[in-house]
Amino acid sequence: MYEEATQVATDAVSGIRTIASFCAERKVMKTYYGKCKAPMQQGTRQGIVSGLGFGVSFFLMYSTYALCFYIGAKFVLDGKATFTEVFRVSKLFRLRTRLQVRSHYA
């Protein structure tokens, strides 16, 4: 990604006397920053995409939790389930999610 910029920096360090004798420091720095511009933009774009993906996945996960608690609350209000049963099911659901995430990254 930064190969061209690294090459410019290596050439500048190895020929520092020549660069200094011709007062070309600014030109070399300008070239170096020019070579760094595209990789920095690509890194920023990649970070934004990764952040959005991460945010969407967590939004979906917590939305699912909220939906489960909402449905559980409706069941408790209708007398179809007790609070303990709803909480037990939600705990199992969270444990299952954690195990899936761990197995995915293991």
| Spacing of C-alpha 49 from chain mean position | 8
Predicted model pTM:
0.61
Into how many domains does the chain fold? 1
Joined together, the tokens standing for residue 51 give 């952040």
The parent domain of residue 85 ranges over 3-105
Average pLDDT estimate for 21-33: 91
Tell me the C-alpha distance between 71 and 65, whole Å: 10
Predicted local confidence at residue 92, as pLDDT: 83
90, with CB counted inside 10 A (0-12, 13-18, 19+), is middle
Predicted local confidence at residue 53, as pLDDT: 93
Indicate the average pLDDT of the chain: 87
Predicted local confidence at residue 100, as pLDDT: 66
Q: How confident is the model at residue 68 (pLDDT cuts 50, 70, 90)?
A: confident
pLDDT for 75 beyond 70: yes
Instruction: Work out the number of other CB atoms within 10 angstroms of the CB of residue 57.
Output: 11
Average pLDDT estimate for 65-94: 89
Predicted local confidence at residue 90, as pLDDT: 82
Matching residue, tokens 């069941």: 75
